[in-house]
Structure 1
Amino acid sequence: MDPIVRNAGILHPYGAEEADRQPDPVFSTTEDDAGIPLHPGAKRLFDNIPALRRIPIFGVACGAYGPACVISLALFHLLSKGLADGFIGGSIFPIFVNIYKVEAAHYQRLSGVIGLSFAIKAFTAVICDTFALFGYTKRWYMFGSCVLCGVFALLYGLLPANPSSGNIAAGFVFLSDYGMATVDILSEGFYSRLIRKIPKAGPSLVSWVWWFISCGGTLGVMIMGPLADHNMPQVGVFVAVGLQFLASLIYLFNLYGEKRNREERIEDARIMRKELLRELEKGKALSRKEGKKGTLDVDQGKALELEPIGDGETVALADDLPLNLTHTNQEEVQKLKEHAGTYQDEASPELLLPQPIICCCGLIEINKEVAMRNKRVLAYCLVITAAVITLGFGNILASTLGLLIICVVVSLVCSVMSFWALPLVIAKVNVFNYLSSAVCIGLPGISKFFIAGPDCVPGGPQFSLTFIFTVCTVISTVSSLTGILVFNYFFSKTNYRKIMIITTVILIPFVLPEIFILKRWNIQMGIPDQLFYIGTSTIISPLIGMVSWMPTVILLSRLCPRGSESMVYAVLASFSNLGSTTSTSIGAILMEYVWPIKSNPPCDFSNAVKLVVVCNIISPLQIIPLTLLLPNVRVSDDIDIDGKMIPKKTDEEPHVKPGKDSNEVH
């Protein structure tokens, strides 16, 4: 038995191999007041500096997952997804519009193409989960992506200042953002494994990561404001290049602490066996053998196809449960049964799943088991990739009617395919994320109203880029960080459906101030544009938006199957990002078909109010019935792949009472 189980009475979530490397006394008290196992490295750190344990969010995350992992996650998200993304993202508008002199309509289409970079990352995750590079499924892919991200950003900053550079620059920005998206999704896949092991600390870890994303992004955009006003936005791009190269060192030295591919496969096998035994006790084995829809395509189901022994033989995980025994050599099977019997619950892990296929003298390991287990997910990744490419070309080349047809076809095909490729609960969450993004229709064309000069909007707000990029971004980020705290301390144990309904109902009324500014009613009331804009759109909306967004991130982490976290997480995140692009396309269709807007002199924003009412007030109300697609459980609950709350009672914890039924509303 593991020393952790022997000394603490619970199974430590880091795995037997890691636990055995630690001295027994370390785990004699490795559990905090909330019942979260204490990481050995965190225990040493807290013993030396006890005050660190009392730091909000960090104390919980570090205690559960270890200081090296938590700090390295913070560094990447600060340097790359925070600062570098803020510099590059903040440079796009001033460089394309002020430096390249790209026309507004063309710029809007190029912006849509750039935004698709985060919707195509599912394809990358498929490659990374299937082909381990130099023994790792994430580490070296993240290193290479950071380097290439910096290279393409450098090329983008060096382009000449003329209109012909616009299309090329959009391509470079897309590739740079795609590299950043690759590292982002692999990092999310990495910490989703951690959250699956210790779900109670999941909200703290996600909050910790997004604190640094928000802080870094705020600082980057804040600096870009004055640089843009001084006509030097390329400086921010060159700084982003250096930050990307610096972030690559995290993966060069494996500061995340990612285990090698073979170790992770063994760990997955051990956990899968325990989950199978748990399901057998719950009476689910028969339904799984009969092919119950929604349970076999990902995680436990297909993962039970085992490595042949001898001539086409396979051995079952349970000693007396032959799942797929053909041409059986009884003597060999008996030996394996005896071998597994000596481990009690910990049967020899290498017998549970096929070993990776070694190629190119060890350069690449092919996880055939992962690919075969997720054949439908692989096909779905290709469908989403094709949808992204189609929507990208549609935004550039298609007419308004053609774009409408593309949006409808993409939405229907990808949504239906989701239920074919994914377990039912994951498919529902996937469709919810897409539709909830699509019904919040984006109106980027209206934003020109706030910064347009007197030749376009006489008597308009005429905000400067410094005000938008610096002042508003700082306030908005502080509001978003406050939203993280509000979620962490008030909503981390609330039902998913309740959170989405509450935030939707609260957020919609705060769209009204935008109508006041568009109609110039605030001036008639004696309220300056800047003060009115900051008090509503910059404070309340980001706070509520962050509270509504955090549960979806945690839910995705809880549902990602072991061994293919990056793949499934990327599919879900890509489809959600595709929903955001679809919403922008729908907004463009409404502007062209129903309520036209002209953003170049002579400008015409007379239909802007109608667009805001329909797209930002009426349409988002559809989120309320869509919440039925979410599992009826709390954020803090540990759930299985069927969306059911996992009872607290285990073999190692016979004294703990089972949890409440997952259908009970909390």
Structure 2
Amino acid sequence: MAANYREDREKDNEFNSRLRVNLSAIDDIDNVNQADDKPDEAAGEEGHYVHPDARALFEKMPCLERIPIFGKSCQGYGPRCTFSLGLVYFLNKGVGYSLINYACFSMFTSRFGVSGVRYQRLASIAKLGFSIKAFAAMTSDSLAIFGYTKRWYCAAACIVGAALTVGYGCLPKKESSADIAAGFIFLTSFCIANVDILSEGHYSRLMRRRPASGPSLISWIWWFILSATIVGAVIQGPLSDKELPQVGLFIAAATQLLSALFFVWNWYGEGTNREEQLADALTLKRELNRALRERQLVSSFRATGSGKEEDGKADSGLDKPVSAEAAAYYNAEGELNGDFALDTLHDGGETAEDEAPALNIVSCCGGIVEINKGVCMRNWRIFVYSSLMACSVITMMCVTILGTRWQLLYSCIAVVLACGACAFWALPFLIAKVSIYFFSYAFLYLQLPGALDSFYMASKECYPEGPHFSYVFYNTIGAVIGNLAGIAAVAAFPYLFSKHSLRFTLMFTYFIQVLASAFDIIIVKRWNLYIGIPDHAMYLFGDAIVYEVSYYLAWMPTVILLSRICPRGSESMVYALVAGFGNLGASMSNTVGSLLMEFKWPITTKDTCDFSNVPMLLLIGHILLPMLIVPLSFVLVPAARICDDIDVNGNIIKQKARSLHRKQRREPGEPINELPP
């Protein structure tokens, strides 16, 4: 029996690498010395599974199977699903969103003629659309349209997003169009965020079923996103220099509209709502039953005190950690964790694992709409929290466009307090702390596009001594070099930080971002010219390389931390909430930057430019405020290494299992040399 549980634990641990980054390199580095002790997982059914469509494709074109990332993804999920996921991300979140993002400054300042201070305020709205994607995820999980929970939502989002993008590009060339354009950007980014989060939910479900191909699929998707970002930069830079930024928006609309075809044809291969709900219910029931059996096994050893008397085989089984599943469902005192009302079947005890549970689905409007009542009941706190965040984001959008600076300040304070307090009410305690940390991580490093973009792009007539960058250099060359540097940083991350603590890695990478800001201050103060370094070279080394490398290095541990603590069965929902709160923090950083300009340190970007206050804005927003991340890291981030598995209470699972085993065997507590650092 102990051997069977040990095999279950080995299979369960494969799920640690199934989310949004490839964690396998980190785990391989950490476990290289333990390889001999593990059973041959590849010998199981999962290791030999090949999708029927992939088998047919590989028989006709065997060379495709040898393509490293594509071949492995096709084996698990089929060529249609693999191709459609990559192309949807390439067209929608990649080319489409990057074109909208790169055209923003040119549209607002050149076409609509707004000032740098006004642009600083309106630029925050672009990120607000991604802040409420949790509400979209919760709505789609609760309400199925025409029998599907994702397919038709995504198709509608692509079509509506394309129409909004065309409307944004057709606005007349006058300053009053800027406020309407900000609303279009918010709605368009919300549509793109819908496709993003619902696609993440779909492939997360696929990876729970076929985890062996999961890391390859994630790598496949992110290669498409990064390459599409480069394509978008190459297209938009020359268009902005020719004062035709709206053409890039029309291209973005076309890419979004083209993405809708994959959902109309259902190339994702999504099953109907009833099929997916039944499969999820059976999976969750098996997982809970396994956790209950493991708990009963541990309780029997505790009750009989037979840990020492059992044979060596059973004893060695208890020496191994209990599965991450069991550790997640139970708290430190051994009671069932109440926080896992998120998505757990409370059926009162063990039932036959293959017995089909009753589905609590209500049909409305002649079957056009299906309400997943069970999902709503299990996740009602999440639904309330996501609704509150949606209302907060809409409030921030309206006040940003129409409100005074004081109204904007009061709204920021109210939204942060309300969403922060609700996070601790709706989420498990550790996930709530991580959510607050993600918000602070994005918020404390103030984004200042109104100041920096205006400074770098100022004309010779407005600011004779400025850098006078072109859009081709600023948006295209800088973006291409920055993305290439970011790819290198992501590839090197597992080898640089795999065994360091989360706290150290997060603080270290954050301070590299702060260091990169020194290059901006040097350029703004024109000190680089005194030592003979041209503006273009200084910018490329600073913002394009050092900052992008630091950004990706800082992004990796945050995603890894979230991947480690997301509860099984609720990954997409919880990830959307935490990531959405982080996006809200990034938007708030823009807003606070605009408040600093409006209250204390204004800039002038029309007629005769005045950027004398930009160094002070950079000092406060890029150097002093980010220092607050140090105490927050010790308060909100668990004391674990990047390569450690942690449960929902923040405990290292292996260490927790050893401690429980010592209690079972009536041994003393943790040895001094095994205490956490």
**Does TM, scored on the shorter chain, surpass 0.5?**
yes
- 2:390 is equivalent to residue 385 of structure 1: yes
Specify the SS of the correspondent of 1:37.
helix
* Structure 2 equivalent of residue 540 of structure 1: 546
Q: Report matched runs for 1:619-634 at 5 Å.
A: 619-628=625-634, 629-633=636-640
* Structure 1 equivalent of residue 457 of structure 2: 451
* Structure 1 equivalent of residue 602 of structure 2: 596
- 2:519 is equivalent to residue 509 of structure 1: no
1:188 to 186, 200, 219: 200
1:472 shift after superposition: 0.7
Q: 1:164 to 1:582 in 2, by over 3 A?
A: closer
* Structure 2 equivalent of residue 568 of structure 1: 574
Distance of 2:390 and 2:212 partners within structure 1 = 34
* Structure 2 equivalent of residue 155 of structure 1: 167
203-212 or 358-367: which moved more? 203-212
CA deviation map 1:27-79 (0-9, x unaligned): xx996499973541267767776765665555655555554433322111111
1:318 to 350, 354, 366: 350
Q: 1:170 to 1:595 in 2, by over 3 A?
A: closer
Q: Report matched runs for 1:76-475 at 5 Å.
A: 76-196=88-208, 204-280=216-292, 281-282=294-295, 295-300=339-344, 303-304=345-346, 306=347, 316-319=348-351, 340=352, 346-351=353-358, 354-447=359-452, 448-475=454-481
8 Å Cα contact 1:188/1:569 also seen in 2: no
8 Å Cα contact 2:439/2:584 also seen in 1: yes
Q: 1:603 to 1:162 in 2, by over 3 A?
A: closer
1:143 shift after superposition: 1.1
Distance of 2:641 and 2:209 partners within structure 1 = 17
Greater per-residue helix proportion: 2
Distance of 2:650 and 2:61 partners within structure 1 = 40
Distance of 2:281 and 2:343 partners within structure 1 = 10
Q: 1:554 to 1:259 in 2, by over 3 A?
A: farther
552-561 or 112-121: which moved more? 552-561
8 Å Cα contact 1:288/1:295 also seen in 2: no
Identity within the alignment, %? 41
8 Å Cα contact 1:264/1:563 also seen in 2: no
CA deviation map 1:90-128 (0-9, x unaligned): 222223322233344433333223332222222222211
Q: Which runs of 5+ in 2 are unaligned?
A: 16-38, 300-325, 658-669
1:377 shift after superposition: 0.9
What residue identity is the alignment partner of 2:50? P
1:411 shift after superposition: 1.6
CA deviation map 1:202-240 (0-9, x unaligned): 555444322221211221122111111112222222222
CA deviation map 1:149-176 (0-9, x unaligned): 1122122223333334333333333222
What residue identity is the alignment partner of 2:361? P
8 Å Cα contact 1:196/1:558 also seen in 2: no
Specify the SS of the correspondent of 1:537.
helix
122-131 or 503-512: which moved more? 503-512
1:552 to 553, 558, 575: 558
Distance of 1:356 and 1:100 partners within structure 2 = 50
Q: 1:249 to 1:446 in 2, by over 3 A?
A: same
Distance of 1:36 and 1:625 partners within structure 2 = 44
1:426 shift after superposition: 1.7
CA deviation map 1:122-155 (0-9, x unaligned): 2222211100112221111111111111122122
Q: 1:209 to 1:632 in 2, by over 3 A?
A: farther
Specify the SS of the correspondent of 1:297.
helix
8 Å Cα contact 1:129/1:566 also seen in 2: no
Q: 1:104 to 1:481 in 2, by over 3 A?
A: same
8 Å Cα contact 1:486/1:547 also seen in 2: no
Superposition CA RMSD, Å: 3.8
Q: 1:399 to 1:480 in 2, by over 3 A?
A: same
Specify the SS of the correspondent of 2:144.
strand
Count matched residues.
Answer: 599
Q: Report matched runs for 1:605-624 at 5 Å.
A: 605-624=611-630
- 2:70 is equivalent to residue 70 of structure 1: no
Distance of 2:117 and 2:12 partners within structure 1 = 57
Specify the SS of the correspondent of 1:484.
helix
Q: 1:167 to 1:510 in 2, by over 3 A?
A: closer
1:564 shift after superposition: 4.9
8 Å Cα contact 2:120/2:451 also seen in 1: no
189-198 or 366-375: which moved more? 189-198
Specify the SS of the correspondent of 1:295.
helix
Q: Which runs of 5+ in 1 are unaligned?
A: 16-28, 307-315, 320-339, 341-345, 651-659
Specify the SS of the correspondent of 2:363.
strand
Relative contact order (C-alpha < 8 Å, sep 6+): which is higher? 2
- What's the TM-score, normalizing by structure 2? 0.79
Q: 1:292 to 1:413 in 2, by over 3 A?
A: farther
8 Å Cα contact 1:277/1:318 also seen in 2: yes
* Structure 2 equivalent of residue 328 of structure 1: none
Specify the SS of the correspondent of 2:618.
helix
Distance of 1:297 and 1:530 partners within structure 2 = 55
Specify the SS of the correspondent of 1:365.
strand
8 Å Cα contact 1:436/1:623 also seen in 2: yes
Distance of 1:508 and 1:494 partners within structure 2 = 20
Distance of 1:570 and 1:406 partners within structure 2 = 23
484-493 or 524-533: which moved more? 484-493
- What's the TM-score, normalizing by structure 1? 0.80
8 Å Cα contact 1:120/1:388 also seen in 2: yes
Distance of 2:330 and 2:538 partners within structure 1 = 62
1:452 shift after superposition: 1.0
